[in-house]
Amino acid sequence: MIEWISKPWPWYVAGPLIGLTVPALLLLGNKNLGISSSLRHICAACFPGKIPFFQYDWKHEVWNLFFVTGVLLGGFVAMHLISNPAPVDVAPETVADLAKLNIPVDGNLLPASLFSFENLLSTQGFFFFVVGGFMVGFGTRYAGGCTSGHTIMGLSTLQWPSLVASCCFMAGGFVMVHLLFPVLLKWL
């Protein structure tokens, strides 16, 4: 069983399982899936003040906090108890594309040359983690939700704003990866 869980699941198994969370949440409790809203709930619970955005009944959404806690615990269990110790297989085309950007493939899920504590305190790390994190947070708030809320929940319930947001998420990702990322790597 552990061997089966520790291997990547094919898209035709993982995709429907993710997709089935939407009707399950709707049928079991009329709940909407979304991760970014949990930060608002945490702020409303921990910092009750006079900020109107945080003045609502966050306890009604406490299930979302349990959901996010489960996601974090699941990630911890997957990383420390059932992770696959074998190096990550990367497609040769991706290795070649990364080599053009001077990013060595080291067999880890994330390249250590970009994602390491040493890089966190560099100019490059500041831009990628702090500025990039701010932009993701701003975009999430501006779009009224994150990729899971819009693309999984919103599209499955036929929400027009979610279609627009999802198309913008994809377009932004393509622009970043193919146009801006190579320039940023050379500049930083």
First to last CA, the chain: 45
Say which residue the tokens 């499955």 belong to: 156
Residues 5 and 79 in one domain: yes
- Exposed / middle / buried, residue 119 (Cβ in 10 Å: 0-12, 13-18, 19+): middle
CA dist 104 and 112 (Å) reads: 9
Residues 62 and 127 in one domain: no
**Domain finish residue from 64, 83, 102:** 83
Residues 141 and 188 in one domain: yes
pLDDT at residue 115 above 90?
A: no
54 confidence band (pLDDT: 50, 70, 90): confident
Which alpha helices (H) appear in the chain, and where do they start and end? 2-6, 11-29, 37-46, 62-80, 92-100, 117-120, 123-125, 132-143, 147, 155-156, 160-175, 181-187
pLDDT tens for each residue of 67-102 = 899 999 999 988 888 877 888 888 999 999 999 988
pLDDT of residue 171: 95
Position 103 in a domain: no
Residues 120 and 66 in one domain: no
Task: Go through 3-14 and write b for each residue having 16 or more CB atoms within 10 A of its CB, e for each that does not.
Answer: eeeeeeeeeeee
Domain residues for the domain of 120 are: 116-188
Position 99 in a domain: no
Average pLDDT of the residues of the chain: 88
Report the predicted TM-score, pTM, of the whole model to 2 decimal places.
0.76
pLDDT of residue 124: 87
- Total domains present in the chain: 2
pLDDT of residue 56: 87
Residues 120 and 62 in one domain: no
pLDDT tens for each residue of 4-48 = 777 778 999 988 988 888 888 888 888 888 888 888 889 888 887
Residues 76 and 135 in one domain: no
Residues 1 and 77 in one domain: yes
Position 178 in a domain: yes
Residues 66 and 139 in one domain: no
Residues 74 and 130 in one domain: no
Residues 55 and 126 in one domain: no
Position 106 in a domain: no
